[in-house]
Amino acid sequence: MSGLGDITSTWPIALATVLSWFLTGMATWYAGRAGMLDHPGSRHSHTQATPRGGGAGLAIALFTVSLLVCGPLMPRAWTVCIAPGAALLALLGWWDDHRSLGVGLRLAVQLAVSGLLIGCGWYWGWMSNPLWAVLTVAFVLWMVNLYNFMDGSNGMAGLQGVFVSTVLAWLYARAGDGGSALLSLLLAASCAGFLPWNLGRARVFMGDVGSLFLGFSVAGLLVAGVARHAFSMPVALMVMAVFLADSTLTLLRRVLKGERWYNPHKQHAYQRLIAHGWTHGRVALLYQAINLGVVLPGIVAAVLFPALDWTIACALAAVLGLGWLGLVRNFGVLAQAG
């Protein structure tokens, strides 16, 4: 399960892509029949009723290929610690896509699976510091929710999933963990299979079933990688830097302005751009250009010069923060929530 031989075969990756595409189509058909539609409104960035819950396709595809096809190659961190929580959150999201659930129930389940993930790491000896355990639970909770917050523009969450998972595959392969590298590639492939249904003029939205699943899966892979010394904490934070910057700074700004931060809104940077006439495709292209042109070079530099990893991570945070601030000032305040 360690070593690069585990990722030499491409057919499971191709299978995950095709299966995700097919199952997303089935989920789209089901959502239309079941009336699972997101309607346009002041808090939404789309202009026509669109089915939601398509993320069920990518989640089922990943579970099928990783556990049934590539089971012996998968790392214990996935099969024992991450996959059960990801499955539970996917079911919670699927339920929420059918009928809106209360914040209390959603938060309770998210807290439970985050705690179980950290408890699993504690049991297997990946984590022993109580303070870091508490902070890691908070990080996982935020990752689950920020992915949900950032899933508001066509292609945004799926493309980020492809980028993050591909980078994780490289990081794990470099550390000699072929099983985790293969898992990361399968996650990237599952996101890629979803994208034809969501890019451009979306035929389906990912829904909570997909965003909660993706947020937890990515968080689990980041936590496991740091805990098992596949890569450093600064590198892990940089992998999700674009989403972390936009969601965290937007939340802080709303809290400081005395708004009800938990209410729906359209104040993320990507939502402001769309509200000012940018197409969803153009916004997605911008975010991935930042990933490739700014975030990825920072990650590579931090990996090659580990003594400078925190310095590089802080510099990247400063660059993204200044960019976010400039965009907010130029595009003004939109769809203010009370």
Q: What percent of the chain has pLDDT over 90?
A: 65
Q: pLDDT band at residue 43, thresholds of 50, 70 and 90? A: low
Q: What is the average per-residue pLDDT within 86-91?
A: 97
Phi, psi (deg, nearest 5) at residue 51? -60, 150
The predicted pLDDT at position 269 comes to 87
pLDDT at residue 4, rounded to an integer? 45
From the CB of residue 88, how many other CB atoms can be counted at a distance below 10 Å? 18
Amino acid 321: pLDDT? 95
Q: Which pLDDT tens digit goes with each residue over 137-173?
A: 999 999 999 998 888 889 999 999 999 999 999 999 9
CA end-to-end span of the chain = 51
> HSE (CB half, 13 Å, CA atoms) of 321?
11
Residue 253 or 307, more confident: 307
Give yes or no for residue 338 having a pLDDT over 50.
no
Q: What pTM value is reported for the model?
A: 0.91
Q: What is the mean pLDDT of residues 82-103?
A: 93
User: What confidence score (pLDDT) does residue 1 get?
Assistant: 39
Map out the domains of the chain as residue ranges: 1-37+47-231, 232-333
Summarize pLDDT for 205-227 with one digit per residue, the tens.
999 999 999 999 999 999 999 98
Q: The tokens 């010069």 sit on which residue?
A: 305
Which tens digit of pLDDT belongs to each residue from 309-324?
A: 999 999 999 999 999 9
pLDDT at 9: 65
Q: How many Cα neighbours within 13 Å face the side chain of 83?
A: 21
* pLDDT value of position 258: 72
Whether residue 48 contacts residue 156, with contact meaning beta carbons closer than 8 Å, is answered with: no
- Percent pLDDT > 70 in the chain is 90
Q: Identify the burial level of 275 via C-beta atoms within 10 angstroms of its C-beta, where 0-12 means exposed, 13-18 middle and 19 or more buried.
A: middle
Q: How confident is the model over 46-80, as pLDDT tens digits?
A: 557 789 999 999 999 999 999 999 999 999 999 99
